[in-house]
Amino acid sequence: MTIQVIKKNEKTDYVIIPYDEFLAFADEDLIDATYIQEILQDPVEGEMTNFDFADYVDNPIQLARLRTGLTQKELADKMEVTQAYISKLERSKRVSPKALKKVTDTLT
């Protein structure tokens, strides 16, 4: 089973499973039937609306990178640093103004 976990502030907010597996759980009565019907009647199947990375990402460097659609490796290459350095910046609780400026200058 493929599962995607979305966390905010190190707390799990959402767990995403493939649609076929969702239906299998529904068939086994592991999910409330009323809730399933509400989901299945959604007129916009498979479309994400009003998604904003800022709702899930607190680190400003990671947020800036995600908004531009770059991977850590791509950003690292543009900045001429290692991917490990970008990862370290994105895991940091506090980001220095100098580091943030360097990243945003690279992304613009």
The full set of domain ranges for the chain reads 4-51, 54-107
Out of 13-17, 34-38, 44-48, 104-108, which region has the weakest mean confidence (pLDDT)? Answer: 44-48
Residue of 101, 102, 84 lying closest to 92 (CA atoms): 84
Q: Give helix 72-79 / helix 97-107 axis angle, nearest 10°.
A: 100
In this model, does residue 72 exceed pLDDT 60? yes
Superfamily of domain 54-107: lambda repressor-like DNA-binding domains (1.10.260.40)
Please report, for residues 26, 64, 101, the alpha-carbon distance to residue 8 in angstroms, rounded to integers and kept in the order given: 27, 17, 24
User: pTM for the complete prediction?
Assistant: 0.54
